[in-house]
Structure 1
Amino acid sequence: MSALIEAEGLTRILPEVVPVTLVEDVTLAIGTREFVAITGPSGSGKSSLLYLLGLLDRPTAGTLRLAGEDTAPMNEAARAAHRLALIGFVFQFHFLLPEFTARENVEIPMRRLGRLPRERSRARAGELLESLGLAGHVDKRPDQLSGGQRQRVAVARALANDPPLVLADEPTGSLDSQSSEQVFAILADLVRERGKTVVAVTHDLELAARMGRRIHLVDGRLVSDERAAGPAPG
């Protein structure tokens, strides 16, 4: 299993009057086709670590390699291009643009990357939405969709550029139990059927226990890294 993410000594300190350490000396490697939960108490640095892994924030110290490439020398434009090509994001709140339809929201990353002609990106957006059970909702705006449907649109958007890595920050945190289970099943399917690596911050320990690996943080430090005995369950 090749390493998709390689972090060594990753540290993030906010330079306040009294400095605040968000992430401290985290070293880990995450391979392809892994389903990883990041857990820990509130304020333990879970989301901060995810943002470092996703190039949404820069570490104060330490190194991060994504798909074998050192991210330290990258300027902001290079980091943005790397994110766009390699990483899909799913957040607790879908962050869909309210004035655009589901299909148009999914098209946005493809249009930014610029690899596909407009006709093909529009078709791919429809295909992704259909694969997530939203065939009848492609032309609806977010306010016309349920919470679970909006989160599935967000997953489709994360997959728009076919990235090898999907990072999710509390993706089921704002959903009811049924919608939460649907979104979890979709994330598991991304690993099992589509060969993605999924790393998800979650406070739901029952869901975390069903993932292939659990990384636990306390006060910004990695205190345990446990793998399931078998493959990640669906």
Structure 2
Amino acid sequence: MTALIEAENLTRILPAIVPVTLVRDVSFTIGEKELIAITGPSGSGKSSLLYLLGLLDRPTSGTLRIAGQDTSRLDDDELARMRLDLLGFVFQFHFLLPEFSVLGNVELPMRKAGRLSSCEMRERATGLLEDLGLAGHLDKRPDQLSGGQRQRVAVARALANDPRVVLADEPTGSLDSKSSEQVFVILKDLVHKRGKTVIAVTHDLDIAARMDRRIHLVDGMVVSDERMTQGVA
């Protein structure tokens, strides 16, 4: 397995009068084209770990390498560029900007990257939205869409700069069962049809069991890291 993400003894301690350890001595390797669930009880450090992997937070100690790069050696601007180039994010609450259209929301990461012309950005955003079944909604505002549709827009936005890794924090947590299944199928297809690595925090154990691998946390520590025998279905 080619290592894409390597975590060694990652620890995140929240400074306070009584310091709080969010993540403790976490180590694992994640390869290309993996579909991974991060599970654990409430308060176990799932989202804190995801934010470390997504370079949205810095570890107190330990090492995180992404695509061979030691991220501890990067300054804030370099971390921002790595996030923009290599990582895509999907959250439980989509965080679409209400003042922009569906198309405009998906174009935003491309505008920030500054690599494509306006025409190229529009063409790519349109293609991503069409692939996700949203061809008829390009000019709508987010508040005109259902919850499941908004989450699909968020997935399209996450894919805008063609990242190698998509990180999802409870992507089905606010959806009904039908929309949850649709989003799961999309995440699965990102791995098996688009060649991405997907790491998803989820409380839904049925969905976790259908992923390729499950990393389970308790009190900020990895207590199991297993390949799922059921696999993706």
TM-score between both structures, scaled by the size of structure 1:
0.98
Correspondences of 1:88-103 after superposition (within 5 Å): 88-103=88-103
Does structure 1 residue 210 correspond to structure 2 residue 210? yes
Write the distance in 2 (CA, Å) between the matches of 1:228 and 1:42. 22
The one-letter amino acid paired with 1:12 is R
Report the secondary structure of 1:25's partner residue: strand
Equivalent in the alignment of 2:194: 194
User: What is the one-letter code of the residue matched to 2:102?
Assistant: A
Instruction: Give how far 1:67 is off.
Output: 0.7
Instruction: Give the length in aligned residue pairs.
Output: 233
Residue 28 in 1 paired to residue 19 in 2?
A: no
TM-score by length of 2: 0.99
Give the whole-Å Cα distance in 2 for the aligned partners of 1:57 and 1:68: 19
Q: What is the rounded CA distance, in whole Å, between the counterparts of 2:228 and 2:206 in structure 1?
A: 13
Match of 1:168 in 2: 168
**Which residue of the partner structure matches residue 80 of structure 1?**
80
Task: Give the secondary-structure state (helix, strand or coil) at the position aligned to 1:88.
Answer: strand
Q: Secondary structure at the match of 2:72?
A: coil
Q: Which amino acid aligns with 1:146?
A: S
Q: Distance in 2 between matches of 1:52 and 1:149?
A: 28
What is the CA–CA distance in structure 2 between the aligned matches of 1:70 and 1:103, rounded to whole Å?
35
Superposition misfits of 4+ residues, deviation over 3 angstroms: none
Asked if 1:227 is matched to 2:221, the reply is no
1:119-178 Cα offsets, whole Å, 9 max, x none, are 100110000000000000011000110000000000000000000100000000000000
Q: Is 2:135 the counterpart of 1:135?
A: yes
Separation of aligned partners in 2, 1:133 and 1:68: 35
Unaligned runs of 5+ in 1: none
Q: CA deviation at 1:73?
A: 1.0
Question: Cα distance, 1:115 vs. partner?
Answer: 1.0
Q: Deviations over 1:76-133 (max 9, x none)?
A: 1000000000000000000000010010000000010111111100110000000000
- Measure the CA separation in 1 of the matches of 2:219 and 2:212: 23
1:66 alignment counterpart: 66
Write the distance in 2 (CA, Å) between the matches of 1:81 and 1:65: 15
One-letter code of the match for 1:32? Answer: E
> Which amino acid is the alignment partner of residue 158 of structure 1?
A
Once residues 217 and 203 of structure 2 are traced to their aligned partners in structure 1, the CA distance between those partners, rounded to angstroms, is 12
Amino acid at match of 1:40: G
* Partner in structure 2 of residue 10 of structure 1: 10
3-state DSSP class of the match of 1:85?
helix
Partner of 2:198: helix, strand, or coil? strand
CA RMSD after TM alignment: 0.8
- Between the aligned residues of both structures, percent identity stands at 73
SS in 2 for 1:72: helix
- What residue identity is the alignment partner of 2:119? E
Alignment of 1:33-48 (within 5 A): 33-48=33-48
CA distance in 2, matches of 1:118, 1:2: 35
CA distance in 2, matches of 1:89, 1:106: 12
Q: Measure how far apart 1:229 and its partner are.
A: 3.6
Aligned to 2:180: 180
Please tell me the residue identity of whatever aligns with 1:16: A
